[in-house]
């Protein structure tokens, strides 16, 4: 019997891994199909309005009449704003921050209806020319599909979280024809951890999504460039300096969007109408520089080809930055990756032009610097230098310049983290009070209510109890309640004794005179919150109270710590088996 039982566990584990792998394949396929529908949807809307999809070339936007450039983004913003207000959670656009939040808290709350409506809102916004990215909506849509499939299969909460990340990986991979970057992005940004158990399904979903995407779009790189290289290692200081400048641009991007959001919040404009006014402001900017419309890959391609002069690159950079501010700040649905790619490419192109004049003969081309700038700005804004470097590599096919991209991306990311402490995504979450930097342990502990911790029956003491009488008993701790049974605090033997020994003590002292504040928890409070309270408060016990603040049990410090270790040990065993 022992031998048979010994074989059962590996076999069960193998079956479980097989089920996860098959589910990851299904998630990758369905998420990629959703990505294709999303891309074709906004391209078709652009073709209907502008005569051709904006991705067909920069001349499409330039040829559009001013009245259309002015009104189309406003109309799209109005529709997107109404969809968000009436059909989306918290009445706001959905994207990568929401996926990170659900991954860290409750993955089961990411539902298919929300994903479909959010994708529709983004389709309308981008289809009418909004200066936002396509990757945010696709990550959200893919994650929604992954979570929904896992729920239909009645998988565990941890498996739902895995499939949520698998959907995000497939969305990135299918969008950029970048299977490596898709898996790394999901691990780096969505899950925030790398283990074989967690990473293997991401790779499977990412590869599956890429295959479907390639069957439809073909195996093409987003940007077709000749092979670029670093002209001289003497340029390394120049790449580091570019990383510093890119950090400044990324900070300006994050802070500018935040300031505009605050300005809207202080205004009396109804939230549902803000995207329409943001679209109108975009239209005004686009009548000056129509290249700011849409995702921006057309202008990014020109910057990567070194087609802009220094002045032209900087002028378009300023226009695109302002256009993206007004879109994101007003709540228009969309991502940030594509705009930051364009901003970085323009900045790098301008930097390369200056370096060509300052270091003739030993400076790399403006195209090489544009690739480096593209990666450095996006990495700092997203807070994901590794996956961003891989995306840039897979989108351009330029491995020789990857050394400079990685160096500048790390520099820009570190600077932004040191000066600001947040990426664009984590800052959006921090404003909502969401801990986006939770560790694996924090995520697990957030799933466990304190009601699972062994609790002792609460020793209830009426506030009117004589202090000396209570001290003569055997109780070491008492929870003091008023005449309605609501908690006032707790008393200890040492605390009551100190009260009785005071010089001003009177014979009629009650336990109420010795009461001390007691940390309280409700049964559904998460264990991660209880542990944080233990850190902040010097206490040996916490009181469990009901909705009417009536105490019914208390938790000892050692019991909470013991439950914590049980959960962490179980997680380590689970990862080790993977």
Bridge partner list, 520: 543
**Residue 5 covered by a domain:** no
Last residue of a domain, one of 222, 245, 271: 222
pLDDT at 5: 44
The conformational region for residue 163 under phi > 0 = left, psi -120 to 50 = alpha, else beta, is alpha
Cβ contact 158:106 at 8 Å: no
Q: How confident is the model at residue 23 (pLDDT cuts 50, 70, 90)?
A: very high
Q: What is the pLDDT of residue 121?
A: 93
pLDDT of residue 453: 83
Q: Phi and psi at residue 331, in whole multiples of 5°?
A: 95, 15
Which pair of structure tokens corresponds to residue 389? 């470097």
Contact 136, 84 (CB under 8 A): no
pLDDT score at 109: 66
| 439 assigned to some structural domain | no
Residues 6+ apart with CB under 8 A from 508: 466
- In this structure, the answer to whether residues 200 and 52 fall within a common structural domain is yes
Co-location of 53 and 113 in the same domain: yes
> What is the C-alpha separation between 39 and 36, in angstroms, rounded?
5
Distance of CA 336 to the CA centre of its chain: 12
Query: In the predicted model, what is the mean pLDDT of residues 374-393?
Result: 89
Q: Are 42 and 134 contacting, i.e. CB atoms less than 8 angstroms apart? A: yes
Quick check: helix, strand or coil at residue 460? strand
Q: 98 with 217, same domain? A: yes
Q: Which of 181, 197, 222 is the last residue of a domain?
A: 222
Phi/psi at 405 (5° precision):
-60, -45
Better-predicted residue by pLDDT, 398 or 118: 118
Express each pLDDT in 171-210 by its tens digit. 999 988 889 888 988 888 887 766 677 788 999 999 999 9
Can you give the residue range of the structural domain that contains 547? 444-577
Lowest mean pLDDT among 138-152, 156-170, 343-357: 156-170
**Does residue 61 lie in a domain region?**
yes
Clarify whether residues 452 and 387 are in a common domain: no
Q: What is the mean pLDDT of the chain?
A: 85
Percent of the residues in the chain that have a pLDDT greater than 70, as a whole number: 91
The answer on pLDDT for 239 being more than 90 is yes
Give the CB-side neighbour count of residue 462, counting CA atoms within 13 A.
6
Kindly state whether residues 133 and 17 are assigned to the same domain: yes
Residue 220 corresponds to which tokens in the numbers above? Answer: 């093409």
The total of other beta-carbon atoms located within 10 Å of residue 352's CB is 26
Which is higher by pLDDT, 2 or 187?
A: 187
Residue matched to tokens 């239209």: 283
> 264 and 118: one domain?
no
Given a cut of 70, is residue 119 above it in pLDDT? yes
Number of domains in the chain: 3
**Residue 575 binned pLDDT confidence (cut-offs 50, 70, 90):** low
**Per-residue model confidence (pLDDT) at position 34:** 93
Helices (H), 420-542: 424-430, 440-445, 467-471, 493-500, 527-536
Extract the tokens encoding 50.
């502008």
Task: Establish if 3 belongs to a structural domain.
Answer: no
39 and 64 fall within a common domain: yes
Is the pLDDT at 563 greater than 90? The verdict is: no
Indicate if the alpha-carbon torsion angle 72, 324, 390, 574 is positive or negative.
Answer: negative
Q: Bridge partners of 490?
A: 479, 516
Specify the DSSP class assigned to residue 421: -
The 10 Å Cβ neighbour count of residue 575 is 14
The two three-digit tokens of residue 187, written as one number: 């691990």
Which has the minimum average pLDDT: 49-58, 212-221, 430-439, 457-466? 430-439
Is the pLDDT confidence value at 6 over 50? no
**Range among 334-338, 372-376, 557-561 with highest mean pLDDT value:** 372-376
DSSP annotation of 510:
B
Instruction: Say which CATH number the domain at 552 has.
Output: 3.10.580.10
Q: What is the mean pLDDT of residues 497-516?
A: 84
Stronger pLDDT, 255 or 490, i.e. the higher one: 255
Q: Which residues of 304-335 are buried (b: 16+ CB within 10 A; e: fewer)?
A: bbbbbebebbbbbbebbbbbbbbbbbbbbbbb
Pairing of strands 487-492, 520-521: unpaired
CATH of the domain at 282: 1.10.3080.10
CA distance 156 to 497: 51
d(C-alpha 59, C-alpha 300), whole Å: 14
Give 196's contacts (C-beta < 8 A, 6+ positions apart): 575, 578
CA distance to 24, 108, 172, 199, per residue, from 204 (Å): 6, 22, 13, 9
Strands 477-481 and 487-492 come out as antiparallel
In a domain, 571, yes or no: yes
Residue 31 has a pLDDT of: 94
Question: In the chain, what's the furthest Cα-to-Cα distance?
Answer: 95
Classified as helix, coil or strand, 542 is strand
| Higher per-residue confidence, 568 vs 255 | 255
Question: Do 363 and 246 fall into the same domain?
Answer: yes
* Domain shared by 270 and 379, yes or no: yes
Residue 11: strand, helix, or coil: helix
- Identify whether 438 is part of a domain: no
pLDDT higher than 70, residue 574: no
Domain match, 487 and 401 both: no
Of 422, 417, 340, the C-alpha closest to 100 is 422
- Hey, how many other C-beta atoms are within 10 angstroms of the C-beta on 545? 21
Q: How many CA atoms, within 13 angstroms, populate the side-chain half-sphere of residue 110?
A: 37
Considering 430, 458, 479, which residue would you say is the last residue of a domain?
A: 430
Q: In terms of DSSP H, where are the helices of 1-88?
A: 2-50, 58-63, 66-87
**DSSP one-letter code for 187:** I
Domain assignment present for 351: yes
Mark whether 421 and 463 lie in a shared domain: no
Q: How many CA atoms lie within 13 A of 185 on its CB side?
A: 34
Distance (Å) of CA 504 to CA 243, 253, 469: 68, 63, 19
Same domain, 204 and 265: no
Does residue 489 form part of some domain? yes
Specify the residue for token string 């003590």. Answer: 505
- Residue 120 has a pLDDT of 94
The model's pTM:
0.78
Looking at the chain, the whole-number percentage of residues with pLDDT higher than 90 is: 40
């Amino acid at each position: 019997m022992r031998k048979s039982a010994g074989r059962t566990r590996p076999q069960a584990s193998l079956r479980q891994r097989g089920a996860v792998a098959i589910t990851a394949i299904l998630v990758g396929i369905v998420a990629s199909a959703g990505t294709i529908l999303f891309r074709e949807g906004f391209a078709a809307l652009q073709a209907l309005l502008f005569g051709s999809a904006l991705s067909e070339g920069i001349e499409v936007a330039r040829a559009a009449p001013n009245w259309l450039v002015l009104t189309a983004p406003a109309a799209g913003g109005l529709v997107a704003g109404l969809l968000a207000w009436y059909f989306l959670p918290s009445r706001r656009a959905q994207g990568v921050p929401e996926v990170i939040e659900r991954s860290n808290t409750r993955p089961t709350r990411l539902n298919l209806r929300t994903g479909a409506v959010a994708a529709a809102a983004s389709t309308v916004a981008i289809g009418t020319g909004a200066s936002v990215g396509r990757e945010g909506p696709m990550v959200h849509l893919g994650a929604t599909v992954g979570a929904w499939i896992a729920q239909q299969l009645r998988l565990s909460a941890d498996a739902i979280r895995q499939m949520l990340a698998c959907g995000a990986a497939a969305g990135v991979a299918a969008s950029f024809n970048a299977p490596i970057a898709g898996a790394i992005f999901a691990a780096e940004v969505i899950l925030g951890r790398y283990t074989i158990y967690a990473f293997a399904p991401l790779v499977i979903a990412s590869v599956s999504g890429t295959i479907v995407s390639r069957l439809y779009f073909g195996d093409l790189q987003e940007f077709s460039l000749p092979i670029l290289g670093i002209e001289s290692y003497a340029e390394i200081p120049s790449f580091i300096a570019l990383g510093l400048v890119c950090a400044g641009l990324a900070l300006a991007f994050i802070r500018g969007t935040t300031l505009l959001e605050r300005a809207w919040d202080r205004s009396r404009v109804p939230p549902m109408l803000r995207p329409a006014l943001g679209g109108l402001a975009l239209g005004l900017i686009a009548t000056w520089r129509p290249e700011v419309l849409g995702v921006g890959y057309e202008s990014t391609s020109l910057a990567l080809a070194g087609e802009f002069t220094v002045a032209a690159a900087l002028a378009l950079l300023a226009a695109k930055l302002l256009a993206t501010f007004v879109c994101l700040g007003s709540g228009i649905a969309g991502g940030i990756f594509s705009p930051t790619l364009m901003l970085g490419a323009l900045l790098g192109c301008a930097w390369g032009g200056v370096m060509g004049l300052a270091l003739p003969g030993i400076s790399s081309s403006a195209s090489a610097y544009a690739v480096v700038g593209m990666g450095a700005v996006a990495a700092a804004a997203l807070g994901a230098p590794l996956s961003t470097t891989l995306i840039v590599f897979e989108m351009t096919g330029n491995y020789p310049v990857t050394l400079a991209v990685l160096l500048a991306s790390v520099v820009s990311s570190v600077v932004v983290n040191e000066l600001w402490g947040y990426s664009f995504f984590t800052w959006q979450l921090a404003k909502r009070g969401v801990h986006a930097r939770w560790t694996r342990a924090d995520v697990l502990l957030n799933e466990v209510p304190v009601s699972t911790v062994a609790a002792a029956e609460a020793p209830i003491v009426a506030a009117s109890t004589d202090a000396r009488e209570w001290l003569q008993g055997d109780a070491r701790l008492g929870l003091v309640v008023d005449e309605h049974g609501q908690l006032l605090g707790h008393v200890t033997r040492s605390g009551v004794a100190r009260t009785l020994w005071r010089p001003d003590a009177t014979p009629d002292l009650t336990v109420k005179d010795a009461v001390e504040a007691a940390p309280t928890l409700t049964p559904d409070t998460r264990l991660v919150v209880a542990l944080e309270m233990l850190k902040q408060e010097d206490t040996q016990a916490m009181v469990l109270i009901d909705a009417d603040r009536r105490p019914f049990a208390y938790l000892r410090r050692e019991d909470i710590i013991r439950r914590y270790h049980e959960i962490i040990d179980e997680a380590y065993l689970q990862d080790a088996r993977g």
